[in-house]
DNA sequence: GAGCATCTGTCTCCATCGAGACACATCGCC
DNA sequence: GGCGATGTGTCTCGATGGAGACAGATGCTC
């Protein structure tokens, strides 16, 4: 746990716990998960669990953050092509790939904690592209909340529209929001 | 391997290998699977593989036989209700549950070996219900082949009809076959 | 046919994991 | 309030599995 060993066994233990976590969140919601059931489902001993994580919050935090890292990386990717739009389509593609995780954590059985964490992460990403981030903290917060809501809606309704469409619609609204705040090329400019 | 330990670790190793096997059969076909790729996918060491199984044939044999055992048990179940038909519907329900396994093993990327093994198993089950099994060995073989083909068709076409319908249609044809052989209440009578 | 890559099946050694017990907390129920 | 069941987090000890090396087989390419 402290040293986070990267041997096959340790990685496997973490993977099994991750998968079990997502399954159980889907089935019963995060609150009703116990370490006992988690380890039983994952076919891992409780001792191994505590070797890898402090408690179930630590586990879910790690899992969620890993996913968010990949997500932010996908959006922030500094390719030469001038296609901000493509990046946000990539964003929703990532969400689609990890839909079980995001759906479980952001959905009814999840916990407000995750939505808040995701909002904060996106907020930082958005603010990072502002000329003077300290000047306006409201706008990034609103944009971030919008994106989280877009994801939630998209997943709860079983992705009724394509990645491209949901991305375009969300960008359009956020562009209006940013224009109102007096910001020119707002996202990933 | 010889003693087949039933500790959590040993059971987990077998489960991981089973799952990896099915995945890889679906992806590349049984022939092209190597123990290396198998253990890599399963996140298990080669040493652990050889502790649990002799080779990949041993593994697939075990996995397949486990499933067939459950299957035969489902059909042979000695309930009081006079519903032979229900049992064969149960048969197809089982097949539906294990569709990834059966589909993988019986499909194009599988190996004739499995279909043959399955036919033989069903053949024994069918013959077991004959008054004098030694008298006619052709009829059970034909009936068994029919059921295997019904399963293959059903899975390859993504289960286009319900369990009940495929069961009824298959039973109807086999009833004709059995009547022709002069056998009265043929299946599970 | 030589050379190279990959796979197999087996081995040893040591890290990690499972079993199970521990005290303590929490909860629902009578 | 007391009680039983269940959960938590930590610990020890023996079992199991990973790392990695091995010879030998197979197969592909030049």
pLDDT tens sequence for chain A (189 residues): 445 667 899 999 999 999 999 999 888 888 889 999 999 999 999 999 999 999 999 999 888 888 888 777 766 665 544 467 888 888 899 899 888 888 888 877 777 778 888 898 888 888 887 778 777 889 899 999 999 999 999 999 999 999 999 999 998 988 888 888 877 554 444
| Contact flag A12-B43 (C-beta cutoff 8 Å) | yes
Q: Which of residues 45-64 of A touch strand D (CB under 7 A)?
A: 46-47, 50, 54-56
Q: Residue B6 in contact with residue B13, Cβ under 8 Å?
A: no
More confident residue, B30 or B80: B30
pLDDT confidence bin for B136, thresholds 50/70/90: confident
pLDDT confidence bin for B81, thresholds 50/70/90: very low
Rounded to whole angstroms, the Cα distance separating B124 from A75 reads 60
Q: What is the DSSP letter of B81?
A: S
- SS3 for B82? coil
Rounded to whole angstroms, the Cα distance separating B68 from B74 reads 10
- Give the pLDDT confidence score for residue A17 in this predicted structure: 95
- Give the pLDDT confidence score for residue A76 in this predicted structure: 65
**Does any CB of chain A come closer than 8 Å to the CB of residue B28?**
no
Please give the average per-residue pLDDT across B74-82, as a whole number: 57
Residue whose entry in the numeric block shows the structure tokens 């059971």: B11
- Give the pLDDT confidence score for residue B55 in this predicted structure: 93
Please give the average per-residue pLDDT across B159-170, as a whole number: 94
Is pLDDT above 80 for B13?
yes
What are the residue boundaries of the structural domains of chain A, listed by start? Answer: 1-53, 60-180
Rounded to whole angstroms, the Cα distance separating A141 from A117 reads 12
What residues have CB less than 8 Å from A30, skipping those under 6 apart? A60, A104, A105, A109, A110, A111
More confident residue, A180 or B153: B153
Query: What percent of chain B stands above pLDDT 90?
Result: 39
Residues of A in contact with B43 (CB under 8 A): 8, 11-12, 15
What is the radius of gyration, based on Cα positions, of chain B? 18
- Give the pLDDT confidence score for residue B75 in this predicted structure: 67
**Could you report how far apart the first and last alpha carbons of chain A are, in Å?**
39
Q: Nearest C-alpha of chain A: how many angstroms from B45?
A: 8
- Give the pLDDT confidence score for residue B141 in this predicted structure: 92
Helix pair angle (A8-28, A99-106), 10° resolution: 50
Q: Give the helix ranges, DSSP H, for chain A.
A: 8-28, 35-42, 46-52, 56-76, 84-97, 99-106, 112-127, 138-156, 163-180
- Give the pLDDT confidence score for residue B80 in this predicted structure: 45
Residue whose entry in the numeric block shows the structure tokens 């799952």: B19
- Give the pLDDT confidence score for residue A189 in this predicted structure: 40
Which residue of B15, B44, B45 is in closest CB contact with A43?
B15
Interface test with A, best of B6, B7, B12, B19 (most A CBs within 10 A): B12
Nucleotides of D under 7 A from a protein CB: 6-12, 15-21
Residues A4-21: b if buried by 16+ CB within 10 A, e if exposed? eeeeeebebbbebbbebb
Please give the average per-residue pLDDT across B134-160, as a whole number: 91
Helix (H) / strand (E) element for B44: namely none
Helix pair angle (B163-180, B84-97), 10° resolution: 130
Rounded to whole angstroms, the Cα distance separating A146 from B123 reads 62
- Give the pLDDT confidence score for residue B1 in this predicted structure: 46
Tell me the two tokens of residue A56: 């179930």
- Give the pLDDT confidence score for residue B112 in this predicted structure: 75
Query: What percent of chain B stands above pLDDT 70?
Result: 89
- Give the pLDDT confidence score for residue B189 in this predicted structure: 41
Rounded to whole angstroms, the Cα distance separating A22 from A126 reads 28
Q: Within 7 Å: CB of B35 and strand C? A: yes
Superfamily of domain A1-53: Homeodomain-like (1.10.10.60)
Tell me the two tokens of residue A21: 């976590």
Residues of A in contact with B15 (CB under 8 A): 43
Q: Kindly identify which residue of chain B lies nearest to residue A48, measuring between CA atoms.
A: B9
Q: Residue A166 in contact with residue A65, Cβ under 8 Å?
A: no
Please give the average per-residue pLDDT across B121-126, as a whole number: 86
Nucleotide of closest approach to A16 (CA, C1'): C17
Give the number of C-alpha atoms closer than 13 A to the C-alpha of residue B77, restricted to the C-beta side: 18
Q: Residue B90 in contact with residue B96, Cβ under 8 Å?
A: no
Q: What is the largest CA-CA distance in chain B?
A: 55
- Give the pLDDT confidence score for residue A166 in this predicted structure: 94
């Amino acid at each position: 746990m402290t040293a986070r060993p990267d041997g096959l066994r340790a990685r496997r233990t973490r993977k099994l716990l991750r998968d079990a976590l997502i399954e159980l969140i889907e089935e019963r919601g995060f609150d009703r998960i116990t370490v006992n059931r988690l380890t039983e489902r994952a076919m891992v001993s409780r001792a191994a669990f505590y070797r890898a994580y402090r408690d179930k919050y630590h586990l879910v935090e790690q899992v969620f953050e890993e996913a968010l890292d990949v997500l932010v990386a996908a959006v922030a990717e500094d390719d030469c092509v001038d296609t901000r739009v493509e990046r946000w389509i990539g964003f929703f593609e990532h969400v689609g790939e990890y839909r079980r995780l995001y759906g479980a954590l952001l959905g009814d059985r999840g916990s407000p904690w995750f939505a808040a964490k995701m909002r904060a992460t996106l907020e930082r990403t958005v603010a990072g592209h502002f000329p003077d981030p300290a000047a306006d903290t409201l706008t990034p917060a609103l944009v971030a909340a919008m994106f989280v809501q877009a994801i939630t809606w998209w997943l709860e309704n079983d992705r009724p529209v394509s990645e491209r469409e949901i991305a375009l619609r969300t960008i359009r609204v956020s562009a209006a929001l940013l224009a109102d705040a007096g910001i020119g090329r707002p996202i990933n400019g």
